A and B are shown apart, each in its own frame.
Chain A
Amino acid sequence: MSVAAFETVVEVRGRSLWVDARRRLLRNRAAIAGIAVLATIAAMAVFAPLLSAYRYSDVDYSTISCAPDWWPWAAGVCRAGGTHWFGTDSLGRDLFVRVLFGARISLSVGLIATLVSLFIGVGYGAIAGFAGGRLDAFMMRFVDLLFSLPYIFLVIILMAVFNRNFFLMFIAIGAVEWLTMSRIVRGQTLSLREKEFIEAARAAGVSASGIVRRHIVPNVVGPVVVYVTLTVPSVILAESFLSFLGLGIQEPMTSWGVLISEGAAQMESAPWALFFPSLFMAATLFCFNFIGDGLRDALDPKDR
């Protein structure tokens, strides 16, 4: 039997890691609910212009800080009326569409900065793990040093001096979030190198690229995927943190941090302007945490 034929037989008979993981994930109700809610928010963000009659930058001085029509505790405040489902902000702009545009920014920051951190972290960690020895020790000492820096302060300085350059924010946040990723990947690679099944595969004549593809990558991907789902919310948080301090995205574009900051400024007269962005942001963060926990349970081989 040739090696290729043998591999197909094994593949048909065995239950792969991914099938198992998917089965476990589908049984986790919190994670599934998280995926569903997140998908809804993401879809709403993508189709935001189609969902509302208003544009995110439409200023309307006849509806300044007005409550949505269905808001129950609004004696003596104006009603936004019509299709302002979430009311209006202090410039009369529709909050529903602004919350969704905030979702666009927050989610895309989350994804892009996480990708940046993924590439740096996986590359750095894999090199350190494969190289081993002195280079590994040196590279990891460097990570230790960076770990002890209060980097959010450095990001604040960066954003302040570069005049809130949005593109730079992606890079800056991504560039400080890769540290844990590199440690995870390095640890996995280092321990995998010594495993018997790698040796067995080598002895059976599997090529180096085959070993990496069929044995190393699937074993590293699990923890990396889990950590990615946990990096996205922390990146969203970092962006909103900067925006809240007034160092993030610029008007008239918006993000959840900006909306929450504006809502907090007028929470006494217009609590809905604080409530809706907070609700969307909290829901998103919870979803990512549930999905991350679910994936960890699903992909952790120790539980099998």
Chain B
Amino acid sequence: MFGFAARRLLSAIPTLFAIVTLAFFMMRLAPGGPFDSARRLPPEIERNIAAAYHLDKPIFGQYVDYLARLAHFDFGPSFRTRDFTVSQLIANGLPVSLKLGAAALAVAILFGVALGIAAALRQNRPGDYAAMALAMIGITLPTFVTAPILTLIFGIYGVTLFGVALTLPVGGWHDGALANMILPVTVLALPQIGIVARLVRGSMIEVLHSNFVRTARAKGLPGHLVIVRHALQAALLPLVSYLGPAVAGLLTGSLIVERVFGIPGIGRYFVEGAINRDYTLVLGVVICYAAFVIAFNLLADLLYAALDPRVSYAR
């Protein structure tokens, strides 16, 4: 088990390295730099700025320098947001993004699993079709469509639920107040709810037809116990390996959601940084994202190996 984890952790290093390298050279391929402006600066000032940020060195030297600093977890200064290092900016934004993403992941798993099980237990009946239609809508409608439309309905027009007039805030974060989180978390979770529901429905149907479930029924176990104690465990196993892709999907969605709802997370830094050529900031955020995707893929592998006795660690 330990060796398996260590091997998988080591194999993440070349992936991370590839991402850093690709992103670094991509940013530098294009003409223009972070300090270009409409007003032409005197050449000596330009030279001084370039020297201060080590942009005057040959590009490969800059790359080696960057890797060396990265080894000490130093992402360097932000080129555009003066007086801030990239690490400070990420430290500001990351907790917000994390809270948003974790809430969305929890909502997606909770509702997705419930929907999937409900559909599987009513296979090929109206309830099943309704649940799968819902899942299809969630998967198909992109975040940048659902975000404004839900904002319009729940944030601007307002709805009345059970006699309570409800108008949710359309933006801002307020340190993650519940009212501020409802819309962004819903929008972010919707596609994942759909995918999880489909996944769980498929595996649940397969498990319900398997012999050990028939045996459990045959020995007279009540229906709900068969499902909770026997079927559910086996049916939720495929969900574990979906963890990695789910996190990647949430990160992509968070770029849109943070922008639409004005949430001060790292997704906004990334888009703004890319447009402003803030090389170090973009690289820092990409590394952060990549680390998350890799970590969750690794976690999924380990969990799967721990949960499924058929998987052996020695390979």
Interface residues of A in 267-298 (CB under 8 A from B): 267-268, 271, 274, 278, 281-282, 285-286, 289
Given contacts A150-B248, A245-B271, A267-B148, contact A161 B26 (CB under 8 A): yes
CB distance from A36 to the nearest CB of B (A): 18
Q: Pull 5 A–B residue pairs with CB atoms less than 8 Å apart, ordered by A.
A: A158-B26, A159-B274, A160-B274, A247-B275, A285-B142
B144 near A257: Cβ-Cβ < 8 Å: yes
B270 near A153: Cβ-Cβ < 8 Å: yes
* B-side contacts of A148, CB under 8 Å: 15, 293-294, 297
A161 near B29: Cβ-Cβ < 8 Å: yes
A152, CB-defined interface residue at 8 Å: yes
Q: Which of A149, A156, A271 is the one whose CB lies under 8 Å from B152?
A: A271
Q: Is the interface of B mostly helix, strand, loop or mixed?
A: helix
A237, CB-defined interface residue at 8 Å: yes
CB nearest neighbor in A for B247: A150
B27, CB-defined interface residue at 8 Å: yes
CB distance from A248 to the nearest CB of B (A): 12
Given contacts A148-B294, A157-B23, contact A285 B141 (CB under 8 A): yes
Tell me the B residues contacting A by CB distance below 8 Å. 14-15, 18-19, 22-23, 26-27, 29-30, 32, 136, 139-142, 144-145, 147-149, 151-152, 156, 248, 251-252, 255-256, 259-260, 270-271, 274-275, 277, 282, 286, 289-290, 293-294, 297
Binary contact readout A140-174 vs B (1 if CB under 8 angstroms, 0 otherwise): 00000100111011101111111100000000000
* B-side contacts of A157, CB under 8 Å: 23, 26-27, 274, 282, 286
Given contacts A145-B14, A241-B142, contact A150 B286 (CB under 8 A): yes
Interface residues of A in 229-282 (CB under 8 A from B): 233, 237, 240-241, 244-247, 257, 260-261, 263-264, 267-268, 271, 274, 278, 281-282
Tell me the A residues contacting B by CB distance below 8 Å. 145, 148-150, 152-154, 156-163, 233, 237, 240-241, 244-247, 257, 260-261, 263-264, 267-268, 271, 274, 278, 281-282, 285-286, 289
Bound Cα distance from A289 to B191, whole angstroms: 14
Q: Which of B29, B152, B274 is the one whose CB lies under 8 Å from A274?
A: B152
Bound Cα distance from A240 to B251, whole angstroms: 17
CB distance from B23 to the nearest CB of A (A): 6
B275 near A282: Cβ-Cβ < 8 Å: no
